[in-house]
Amino acid sequence: MTLAAPHPLSRARALLTRHPLIAFFGLCFVPVWAYELVGILVFDLPVAPWMFVTPFLGPTLAAVLVTWAGRGRAGVRALFGEVVRWRVPGRWYLAVCLGLPVILMACVLPLPGAWQHAGPVGSEVLPWLLGFGIVLVLGGPLGEEPGWRCFAHQHLQQRFGPVRGALLLGLLWGLWHAPLSLIEGYNHAGADLIGMAVPFAAFLIFTIAISIPLAWLANHTRSGVLAILAHTFLNASLLPVFFPGVDNSLSYLVVQDVVFGALAVALIVTTRGRLGRPE
């Protein structure tokens, strides 16, 4: 008797199930890097609007496919249940929506001329709110966090532990953005190799450092809503509101690296490396 060959869909599903982390990051990187490199190197496109779809093509789609392969529709429903989970204690909303902006604005103070430009500008609040909504939906957070914090964080933490898992996620999260550094002006990128490499290195340090407090937040709340909000506050600069005249410069990013690096070390020490992970 000749056995029928496995259906291609069954083979693909089995492959995704056997190696979920490799499958997830492969599905994150390959289509997005190919899409971005063609857009940048072949068509010389700017950042917007074509790159707005990349978070949904990468982390979100990868999380859905790998979850479906391993756990079926019930798993996908559970994944999106975490993405939309908003019923968490109010102190976590305060930490994200008040504490995080305060830290980010405190990072401005060491910059030259910051104190001379300090002061809220009421006319900038509405434009910032509109920009916040655009960044949330199209600028990365809504499309990335279902993959990063709602899927990859849990798998990496289970495999490597809270600290190493968070650091590895931060590294891969940053590297996922690498092709965009070829666009002059994106995240302070310059026109030559050094001008691209130095800002990207600073950005990579930032994604690694911030992944520790984001892992701590995720372990305590399992809320994709809070992860999305935190990511949006990181992307939607409040400088025009509180420090008009201060540029969102590479120096500002370097200060953030130092501050969030110190916060990461403090969380690792005070939680004894568990970052809020349940016993």
Could you tell me if residue 41 is left (phi over 0), alpha (psi between -120 and 50 degrees) or otherwise beta? alpha
Question: Which H or E element spans position 97?
Answer: none
What three-state secondary structure class fits 246?
coil
Contact between 243 and 121 under an 8 Å Cβ cutoff? The reply is no
Going by C-alpha positions, the residue among 173, 133, 268, 147 that lies closest to residue 213 is 268
Distances in Å between the Cα of 216 and the Cα atoms of 71, 144, 169, 273, 274 are 26, 18, 13, 10, 8
Q: Which two tokens stand for residue 26?
A: 């492969």
Contact between 213 and 267 under an 8 Å Cβ cutoff? The reply is yes
DSSP 131-176: HHHHHHHHSSHHHHHHHIIIIIHHHHHHHH-HHHHHHHHHHHHHHH
- Taking residue 123's Cβ as centre, other Cβ atoms within 10 Å add up to 9
Could you tell me if residue 275 is left (phi over 0), alpha (psi between -120 and 50 degrees) or otherwise beta? left
The pTM for the full model equals 0.93
Distance CA 279, CA 272 (A): 12
**Averaged in consecutive runs of 10 residues, what is the pLDDT profile of the chain (279 residues)?**
55 79 96 94 85 90 95 95 97 98 97 89 95 94 96 97 98 96 92 95 98 98 98 96 93 98 98 92
Contact between 63 and 150 under an 8 Å Cβ cutoff? The reply is yes
pLDDT at residue 9, as a whole number: 64
Contact between 144 and 53 under an 8 Å Cβ cutoff? The reply is no
pLDDT at residue 8, as a whole number: 64
